[in-house]
A and B are shown apart, each in its own frame.
Chain A
């Protein structure tokens, strides 16, 4: 989980995802939280969307927004959905919190034609400087947790994720890296807080 900057158009990562998605498509949002992204996609892109979320209070918020949502753990499996059922499966800000990210992402690529992954970059320069100069595990505005209370189970950089995709034969069709409400093009693994990837796999 990271703190994402709000701006007048809503969360910038949501705006980036919105642009990646074709209108009227079928979307599954894994770890959909309060359903803000799904509601946005339905309103702006007329998608047919459904979410999976583990937090009970978030389920109420989703239902209040008029969303279809399932109260489940994405680690417990997606394979009850048939092959390529969805046009897009979204894993935004959730992959680093699952127990078995490899399984989840490969399952997402089975049930979805395309997968959108949003990950926090744990190797941002602020984090690196804290490790180097302070000799401590970084706590930054974007990664505000201490080691003992962080919901994040997985710590990875944008480069780590790209390497993972190469190893698994996953195609990165599009990559956008952001910092607050800004797109970062220069050395994103150093300067971007969040990486957003549009993936596919034959």
Chain B
């Protein structure tokens, strides 16, 4: 049985943007009501100065740490969040927020449209990472938190953390951006498009109107298989699978599964179908593809208003969000005279490293937060 030092936690839900006070999205379309799923760990201190928001990846959820009552599976970053851990719940109040467009308890294409009484499907408006952040800002306001001590996340979560410092520069004291980048590149968009096409070419997709019917399982599983390859590295796949055969002594000279890696990907794809909505996958990958901090092409001026201290972490084997993108971002941040530290961690796990490589990240994050905490106290005294 899995253990978590944080114990039992539960997902909470914040409802807002009731019509006629809908949220106006970047596209100009209004959306409401909205539900945002979130979890909290630790305690908000008296002067409300110890709040850290954690943002998750593309297909993850608000359950970042601890275990749920009816499950023994710890949250996706349980090794990083808890008493005495990098995000120390004895010191900090941690909020883990789900995103707009997700199917993990927040409003997304699988949610019921109150106007029709049916799931939104493709009538759900296209959301952006900016829209996700605006929604999270509402959640933080609702929790009565005036300033964030830190905004932190990896991959898609890193984009949100960065955006917080750009959109609300006075409200964010520090940012930890892991395995992320300041704009989505052609390769990333291309990989997402292959995933989307896999879903949309499944006859069961039915233009997104498959709720209550047979779901586009084959397409969604295939897109997850593609995705999973991009989260690993040549080396981590070689270490994990090599050319090991699955349940046979020699290759079968047919198209059944011969190699362990084939059945692993199949398993990953199939289990993903049980837990994720195909339309959500389309919407969230689109949001990522639209992400560009420097829409005018100038990354240096994109960070002009940022005031936060930053820690940027990347991984040598990550080819989905390669280190050079982090380094480019660090240069632009430095050009703005910002307090930015960065480290490229040498490891073979690929993009997944930020979920797996706990020790090295903990060392960096724990001491970075300690310093920021100390400086904050000194500033006040």
Kindly identify which residue among A60, A67, A70, A85 contacts B342, using a CB–CB cutoff of 8 Å.
A70
- B334-A81 in contact (CB<8A): yes
Q: Is A106 an interface residue (CB 8 A)?
A: no
Q: Which residues of B contact A56 (CB under 8 A)?
A: 343-346
Write the chain A residue with the least CB distance to B326.
A71
Given A66-B370, A68-B339, A60:B364 Cβ within 8 A: yes
Given A56-B346, A68-B341, A69-B341, A82:B335 Cβ within 8 A: yes
- B337-A85 in contact (CB<8A): yes
- Closest chain-B Cβ to A135's Cβ sits at a distance in Å of 41
Q: Is A72 an interface residue (CB 8 A)?
A: yes
Given A70-B330, A80-B332, A80-B334, A59:B343 Cβ within 8 A: yes
Q: How many residues of B contact A (CB 8 A)?
A: 24
- Closest chain-B Cβ to A51's Cβ sits at a distance in Å of 9
Q: Which residues of B contact A85 (CB under 8 A)?
A: 337
- B340-A68 in contact (CB<8A): yes
- A64-B363 in contact (CB<8A): yes
Given A60-B364, A63-B368, A66-B374, A71:B343 Cβ within 8 A: yes
Main secondary structure, interface of A, reads mixed
- B335-A80 in contact (CB<8A): yes
Q: Which residues of A contact B374 (CB under 8 A)?
A: 66
Q: Which residues of B contact A60 (CB under 8 A)?
A: 343, 360, 363-364
Complex: A181 Cα to B309 Cα, angstroms: 38
Contact with B along A65-109 (1 / 0, CB 8 A): 011111110000000111001000000000000000000000000
The 6 closest A-B pairs by CB, nearest first: A66-B371, A80-B331, A71-B343, A80-B335, A59-B343, A63-B367
Please report B residues at the A interface, Cβ cutoff 8 Å: 309, 327, 330-332, 334-335, 337, 339-346, 360, 363-364, 367-368, 370-371, 374
- Selected A-B contacts with CB under 8 Å, 21 pairs: A50-B339, A59-B343, A60-B343, A60-B360, A63-B341, A63-B343, A63-B364, A63-B368, A64-B363, A66-B371, A68-B340, A70-B330, A70-B342, A71-B342, A71-B344, A72-B330, A80-B334, A80-B335, A81-B335, A82-B337, A85-B337
15 other A-B residue contacts (CB within 8 Å) besides A60-B343, A68-B339, A72-B327: A56-B344, A56-B345, A59-B364, A60-B360, A60-B364, A64-B363, A66-B370, A66-B374, A68-B340, A70-B340, A71-B344, A72-B342, A81-B334, A81-B335, A85-B337
